[in-house]
Amino acid sequence: MDPITNPYAPGAGTPPPELAGRDELLRMVSIATQRVRAGRQAKSVLMIGLRGVGKTVLLDRMREDAETVGLQTLRVEAPEGRSLPAILAPQLRQALLRLSRSEQARDLGRRALRALAGFAKALKLKYEDIEVGIDYEPEPGLADNGDLEHDLQALLEAAGRAAQAAGTALILFVDELQYVEEEQLASLITALHRCAQRQVPVMLVGAGLPQLPGRMGRAKSYAERLFDFPFVGPLDPDAARAALEVPAQELEVMYEPAAIDLILQATECYPYFLQEWGKHAWDTASASPITQRDVETASIEATAALDESFFRVRFDRLTPSEKRYLRAMAELGRGPHRSGDIANALERKVTALGPTRNQLISKGMIWSPSHGDTAFTVPMFDAFMRRIMPGEDWRLS
């Protein structure tokens, strides 16, 4: 059928035509953010899930919902290798400038901008990547200690007070939180804790890979009590069906039930894969309804497309020894696997492989569901590894 009208949207952070199966989570976050504005207790929320389950599109939707009801928001993504203060500062400045435009929040908004100026100046030595426009001179003693833990607390508190004066709350949306250094994560946790204790309306809605709760716990032992960690997984079968059928129905295209069943089976209801299969099934079919035959053909193309994009971008960032480690894991199946079994497959000692394993964890490729266990963070990565490194060559060298 016409590829121009194809409704499906595979891609990192690309909003799906139908955001299926996430209503409960959206509602939970909407209630929590509005409770914070009302001066009520609510935990910050960190969505945890594997690659491609829809964390980023959820964050974006939650942010839109928050803005619709008049909450003040900022949205950042923690990239590998940049500091948290550096990514927060410019977005915080924008939010504070917006807040300062309201009559009631003008003075506290300016005070928070002074706090930001002090913060940026004092921390610039340690975090050289901080670049932010300065609108007001710093106020001596306000968020300018040069110590992140202290200064972030003072800054978020000042920002939250400004939001409060404007009758709103400040909601921080942060993606890829697992990449934030533990020490910076600890400062963020402390700052949020302090705001909660003082009933300052600041809240975090974050997303990250499954290693995040463990990192948070190591950064601050009380973190687990301070946050909700909803798990974002594959869709349930009804939601997966809706993700495929609703966008097609809007264009008067139907699926044969067997065609849908085959897609659910091939994708295991993982959102990214559903979009990829939907897209190729649509392009393959010559007319409605989309048949099981169409899906069989489309499966080959969808797999090839994933191999060239979703899986490939991850594979290309790996060193040769990291590739061998993942290939050995793949040989054992989908996992999780014991470190000892992986080492055996490579005919190496567990300790000798420790550094490679740690690099893979910090790159976000694998995580440890429990002590000594290792699992992929990308669904179906085992099958990809066997396709991209076929045969036995990986055992050599």
Ligand X SMILES: Nc1ncnc2c1ncn2[C@@H]1O[C@H](COP(=O)(O)OP(=O)(O)OP(=O)(O)O)[C@@H](O)[C@H]1O
Which residue, judged by CB position, is nearest to Mg ion in the bound state? Answer: 56
Of 64 and 393, CB closest to ligand X: 64
Q: Min. distance of Cβ 176 from Mg ion in angstroms?
A: 7
Compute the distance between CA of residue 174 and CA of residue 62 in angstroms, rounded to an integer.
Answer: 12
Of 79 and 340, CB closest to ligand X: 79
Indicate which single residue of 1, 6, 16, 122 sits in contact with ligand X (rule: CB under 6 A).
Answer: 16
Compute the distance between CA of residue 81 and CA of residue 58 in angstroms, rounded to an integer.
Answer: 24
49-76 b/e (C-beta count within 10 Å ≥ 16 → b): bbbbbbbbbbbbbbbebbeeeebbbbbb
If binding is defined by CB under 6 A, does position 215 make contact with ligand X? no
Q: Min. distance of Cβ 179 from Mg ion in angstroms?
A: 11
If binding is defined by CB under 6 A, does position 53 make contact with ligand X? yes
Q: Min. distance of Cβ 380 from Mg ion in angstroms?
A: 17
Site for Mg ion in 39-68 (CB under 5 A): 55-56
Own/partner contacts of 388-391, CB < 8 Å, gap of 24 or more, are 388/307, 388/311, 388/315, 389/323, 389/327, 389/330
Q: Min. distance of Cβ 12 from Mg ion in angstroms?
A: 6
Indicate which single residue of 29, 57, 162, 329 sits in contact with ligand X (rule: CB under 6 A).
Answer: 57
Of 174 and 248, CB closest to Mg ion: 174
Q: Measured at the alpha carbon of residue 303, what is the angle toward residues 300 and 304, in degrees to the nearest 5? A: 85
If binding is defined by CB under 6 A, does position 44 make contact with ligand X? no
Q: Min. distance of Cβ 230 from ligand X in angstroms?
A: 13
Residue 361 interface partner, choices ligand X, Mg ion, none, CB cut-off 5-8 Å depending on type: none
If binding is defined by CB under 6 A, does position 247 make contact with ligand X? no
Q: Measured at the alpha carbon of residue 143, what is the angle toward residues 47 and 136, in degrees to the nearest 5? A: 105
| Sign, CA torsion 135/140/143/145 | positive
If binding is defined by CB under 6 A, does position 275 make contact with ligand X? yes
If binding is defined by CB under 6 A, does position 52 make contact with ligand X? yes
Q: Min. distance of Cβ 60 from ligand X in angstroms?
A: 8
Residue 243 interface partner, choices Mg ion, ligand X, none, CB cut-off 5-8 Å depending on type: ligand X
Residue 20 interface partner, choices ligand X, Mg ion, none, CB cut-off 5-8 Å depending on type: ligand X
If binding is defined by CB under 6 A, does position 264 make contact with ligand X? no
**DSSP letter (8 states) at residue 206:** E
Q: Min. distance of Cβ 303 from Mg ion in angstroms?
A: 21
Residue 376 CA from chain centroid, whole number: 16
Q: Min. distance of Cβ 273 from ligand X in angstroms?
A: 8
If binding is defined by CB under 5 A, does position 178 make contact with Mg ion? no
If binding is defined by CB under 6 A, does position 255 make contact with ligand X? no
DSSP state letters, 333-379: -SS-EEHHHHHHHHTS-HHHHHHHHHHHHHTTSEE-SSTTEEEESST
Of 55 and 324, CB closest to Mg ion: 55
Q: Three-state SS for 130?
A: coil
If binding is defined by CB under 6 A, does position 56 make contact with ligand X? yes
Q: Min. distance of Cβ 17 from ligand X in angstroms?
A: 8
CB within 8 Å of 42: residues ≥ 6 apart: 31, 32, 33, 35, 36, 203
* C-beta of residue 100 within 8 angstroms of C-beta of residue 165: no
Instruction: Determine the size of the site formed for ligand X (CB under 6 A).
Output: 25
If binding is defined by CB under 6 A, does position 51 make contact with ligand X? yes
Residue whose C-alpha is closest to residue 357's, from 347, 367, 346: 367
Indicate which single residue of 119, 179, 255, 272 sits in contact with ligand X (rule: CB under 6 A).
Answer: 272
Instruction: Determine the size of the site formed for Mg ion (CB under 5 A).
Output: 2
If binding is defined by CB under 6 A, does position 19 make contact with ligand X? yes
Q: What is the dihedral of CA 310, 315, 316, 322, to 10 degrees?
A: 160
Q: Min. distance of Cβ 47 from ligand X in angstroms?
A: 8
* Burial of 88 from C-beta contacts in 10 A (0-12 / 13-18 / 19+): buried
- Residues lying near ligand X in the complex (CB under 6 A): 9-16, 19-22, 49, 51-57, 243, 271-272, 274-275
- Residues lying near Mg ion in the complex (CB under 5 A): 55-56
